[in-house]
Structure 1
Amino acid sequence: YVAVGADEIYASPASMVGSIGVLYNGFGFVDALQKLGISRRLQTSGVNKAFLDPFSPTTEFQKEKLQTMLDIVHKQFITRVKEGRGNRLHVDDETFSGLFWTGEQALANGLIDGYASSGQLAREVIKITDIVDYTYKQNVFDRLTKNLGTAMADELPVILGMKPGLR
Structure 2
Amino acid sequence: MAPIVILLTPIIVSSLFLNDPDRMVLITYGKNIIIYTLSFGIAFLAIFIIKLFKKIISKLLTGSSVQYYIHINDDYIEYNPFFGATEKYEWSKISRVIHELPTDQYEEKYIFELYDGSKFEFIPTAAITKEMKMQIDEKILTMDVSFEEY
Shorter-chain TM-score tier: under 0.3
Higher strand share: 2
> TM-score normalised to the size of structure 2?
0.23
Structure number with bigger Rg: 2
> TM-score normalised to the size of structure 1?
0.21
